[in-house]
Amino acid sequence: MVSNERRQNTDIAFHEDEVKLAKKMMDTLRTTVEFLYYLMEHRSKASFTIILLSTDGLKLDSMLQKWKRETDILFEIDKANNVYVLICQATDQDGAEKFSEILLSNIHLNGGTHTYCVATELRTTNHTIQEVIFTMVEKYMNAKREQDSDCVFFNRLENLNDISAQDIVYR
């Protein structure tokens, strides 16, 4: 007998919006991250940080344009859902933490609510671009599902298999 029931195992099922977000990020960021990887391979000690950010109640595009440096690269990922990515060149974990906290504080002061932020520092090219982006999207979507807003989740790609050390949270 054939069953027409759909599987209910949500451990391997993702919402359509989550899959589309991952696709948009790959389409938008791949070439830029490839170029930065190229620079990392040919320049010693070059690093960068990717910050994935969204908020409700405040348009991020103009605020992020105002706050970013000339070397930071701003990408609009999903205008309807106010999702943006900043790639901050020559920015380590400490700098990304401080910048993310400044952004969150300014978003809050200007009326933004339910702000979600995931940051990842890249010091090596040991991880594929897909792994970097998909890890960030997964952490971002988990934070949204858990409604864990108004903090910065800092991914550590070196520890992907160690769940307890996977990220650092700054509130």
CA–CA gap between residue 164 and residue 81 (Å, rounded): 30
Q: At residue 105, does pLDDT exceed 50? A: yes
pLDDT of residue 169: 57
Note the pLDDT tens digit of each residue in 118-165: 999 998 899 999 999 999 999 999 999 999 899 889 887 765 554 444
Note the pLDDT tens digit of each residue in 23-68: 999 999 999 999 999 998 887 767 899 999 999 999 999 899 999 9
Domain that holds residue 105: 16-170
Q: Which of 94, 84, 87 is nearest to 70 (CA)?
A: 87
Total count of domains within the chain:
1
Contacts of 58 (CB under 8 A, 6+ apart): 82, 107, 110, 111, 112
Q: At residue 170, does pLDDT exceed 60? A: no
CATH code of residue 140: 3.30.70.270
DSSP 37-93: HHHHHHSTT--EEEEEEEEESS-HHHHHHHHS-TTEEEEEEETTTTEEEEEEET--H
Report if residue 3 sits inside a domain.
Answer: no
Report if residue 26 sits inside a domain.
Answer: yes
